[in-house]
Amino acid sequence: MPLPPICTTFEPYFLLSDERLQDIVNHFRKEMEEGLEAYGKDVAMVPSYVTGVPDGSEEGTFLALDLGGTNLRVCEVRLFGQHKFELKQQKYKVSEELKEGEARVLFDYIADSVDAFLTEIGSDISSNEPMHLGFTFSFPVEQTAIDAGKLLTWTKGFNAKNAVGNDVVKLLQDAFDRKHIHVRCSAIVNDTVGTLLSRSYQSGPALIGAIFGTGTNGAYIDKTRTVKKLGEDKIKEAEAGGQHAGEFMVVNTEWGAFDNGRKCLPVSIFDNKLDRESINPRKQAFEKMVSGMYLGEITRNILLHLIDASVLFNGYSSKTINTHYGYDTAFVSAVEAAKSPEDVKKLIISQLGVDPKHISEGDPEIVQWACRMVSERACKLAAAIIVAVVQHTGNDKVPEGEEDKGVDVGIDGSVAEFLPRFAERVDETFKILLGEEGGKRVRTGLAKDGSGVGAALTALQAKKAMDRRTEKDSQFVPGKKGYNK
């Protein structure tokens, strides 16, 4: 059945033309450069003080803590070398009250969860030394060292008071100390940095680690010298072999905040509504079009609009559709995976709670259309942002005289994992933006458990640096030759 004409008026905001995509790539490259030059920019480009990626030979047992996705996760990670690891984990729910209450209460809860984990699961780490813990804290943090950094702003529905501006490692360590828990937080790591490290540990050197989950963000390897805002002294110190010696530095882009100024992203009335009703209006503009926390909500706004225009469900809504964040991205994925309009109709009844008597013959197709629009745009934007990073580092071309090893991107998160055809759609867009051959050179692969393994690897790097401040033969190897020209 043909779609109601009102639908087609919204398509340009979702079916992005090649030119528009290219424009988005260029804008992001510009914002990356701005963030590398100065502090306080929308795209924060946070230096992580991680100076390379692992080669898979690393060994040791570490605790890892992961805050910033759906749950709080506490893990014990055993790195065996030879690219192998084992992970024991326990998930703990973070209630809305904790997310929006006092930071001290949130951090006490985190410390209690670590304590409960150590008691319930038992730990293989036996020593009088405090246990080393890597803290995957997946929010924008302005890091000043591998184990220090101030929270810049909350994202993804968190809004705990008295945390912004404070050192997150200190907030956690104080909570451990208050409770006499013998654990030392030796590294703070963003989940994207963790994903980059974990992908490299498991399957060889990667250039980018990206999350397409509740939120979205990416980290990549750059030349320390490119992070101009560090200042010439710090850069020289790093290059000459200071505390964080390294020609290379992993940079956490915080690309979720790309185009907060709305200069190039395709902002529809549905995106505006979502933003206005969010707890962080005018922030995380890119994230709100791409990540799992929001894709369901954008389609809900579209469906509501079509219901109000009386072209869907005969003008009747349901309690679920009327509820803010009434359903999540899993619905979009389920519709995208549905084989027939009959299957979509079943989902509309079971998951959206629409009364079957209000569902007309063409309605399932309209719902399918809305879900497809929103998913297509998310996948294209995901690909565009990766292409911008590849171009920024010069890796869109094969370095002269070198073998072409392509570019590897480790990816994690519920959208990447569960949204049907995510990887295919991203690959198609790579080819649009980089050409057939250029597009094929960029390979993405799921790097599961990035936040656990990555935190352990970062804790290892921090511990080694602590044990022997001047050690030169760190097991961490600098970014693959040719990544940074």
Task: Determine if 172 is a binding residue for ligand GLC (CB under 6 A).
Answer: no
Separation of alpha carbons 410 and 452, rounded Å? 14
Phi, psi for residue 231 in degrees, rounded to 5: 90, 150
Q: What are the structure tokens assigned to 361, written together? A: 């013959």
Task: Determine if 68 is a binding residue for ligand GLC (CB under 6 A).
Answer: yes
Between vectors from CA 32 to CA 249 and to CA 481, what angle results, nearest 5°? 35
DSSP bridge pairs for 445: 410
Is residue 29 within 8 Å of residue 392, measured between CB atoms? yes
CB of 155 or CB of 260, closer to ligand GLC: 155
Residue nearest to ligand GLC (CB): 215
Helix axes 422-441, 363-392, angle to 10 degrees: 30
CB of 51 or CB of 216, closer to ligand GLC: 216
Reference 461, options 218, 196, 209, 253; nearest CA is 196
CB of 256 or CB of 410, closer to ligand GLC: 256
Segment contacting ligand GLC by CB under 6 A, of 174-182, 208-216, 330-338, 359-367:
208-216
Segment contacting ligand GLC by CB under 6 A, of 19-27, 163-171, 187-195, 241-249:
187-195
424 burial (CB, 10 Å; 0-12 / 13-18 / 19+) is exposed
Task: Determine if 217 is a binding residue for ligand GLC (CB under 6 A).
Answer: yes
Is residue 455 within 8 Å of residue 136, measured between CB atoms? yes
Binding footprint of ligand GLC, residue count (CB under 6 A) = 17
Reference 99, options 73, 72, 136, 74; nearest CA is 72
Is residue 250 within 8 Å of residue 219, measured between CB atoms? yes
Task: Determine if 190 is a binding residue for ligand GLC (CB under 6 A).
Answer: yes
Segment contacting ligand GLC by CB under 6 A, of 10-18, 28-36, 119-127, 188-196:
188-196
Segment contacting ligand GLC by CB under 6 A, of 97-105, 210-218, 400-408, 467-475:
210-218
Is residue 249 within 8 Å of residue 209, measured between CB atoms? no
Separation of alpha carbons 428 and 383, rounded Å? 9
C-alpha torsion sign, points 12, 13, 15, 17: positive
For residue 354, CA distances in Å to 27, 230, 299 come to: 41, 55, 15
Binding-site member from 47, 54, 256, 410 for ligand GLC (CB under 6 A):
256
CB of 217 or CB of 318, closer to ligand GLC: 217
Give the nearest distance from C-beta 352 to ligand GLC in angstroms.
27
Task: Determine if 215 is a binding residue for ligand GLC (CB under 6 A).
Answer: yes
Task: Determine if 454 is a binding residue for ligand GLC (CB under 6 A).
Answer: no
C-alpha torsion sign, points 298, 433, 414, 256: negative
Instruction: List, in sequence order, the alpha helices (H) in 204-231.
Output: none
- Catalytic residue annotation: 156, 191
CA end-to-end span of the chain: 53
Is residue 81 within 8 Å of residue 87, measured between CB atoms? no
Give the nearest distance from C-beta 140 to ligand GLC in angstroms.
5
Task: Determine if 209 is a binding residue for ligand GLC (CB under 6 A).
Answer: no
Question: Among residue numbers 269 through 288, which ones bind ligand GLC (CB under 6 A)?
Answer: 287
Residue whose token pair is 């994690």 = 412
> What is the helix (H) or strand (E) element at residue 141, kind and residue range?
strand 141-145
Give the nearest distance from C-beta 220 to ligand GLC in angstroms.
13
Task: Determine if 211 is a binding residue for ligand GLC (CB under 6 A).
Answer: yes
Give the nearest distance from C-beta 213 to ligand GLC in angstroms.
6
Task: Determine if 213 is a binding residue for ligand GLC (CB under 6 A).
Answer: yes
Binding-site member from 49, 117, 139, 158 for ligand GLC (CB under 6 A):
139
Give the nearest distance from C-beta 192 to ligand GLC in angstroms.
5
Give the nearest distance from C-beta 137 to ligand GLC in angstroms.
8
Give the nearest distance from C-beta 139 to ligand GLC in angstroms.
5
Reference 247, options 5, 479, 8, 14; nearest CA is 479
Task: Determine if 138 is a binding residue for ligand GLC (CB under 6 A).
Answer: yes
Give the nearest distance from C-beta 152 to ligand GLC in angstroms.
9
Segment contacting ligand GLC by CB under 6 A, of 71-79, 117-125, 189-197, 345-353:
189-197
Residues near ligand GLC (CB under 6 A) are 68, 138-140, 155-156, 190-192, 211, 213, 215-217, 254, 256, 287
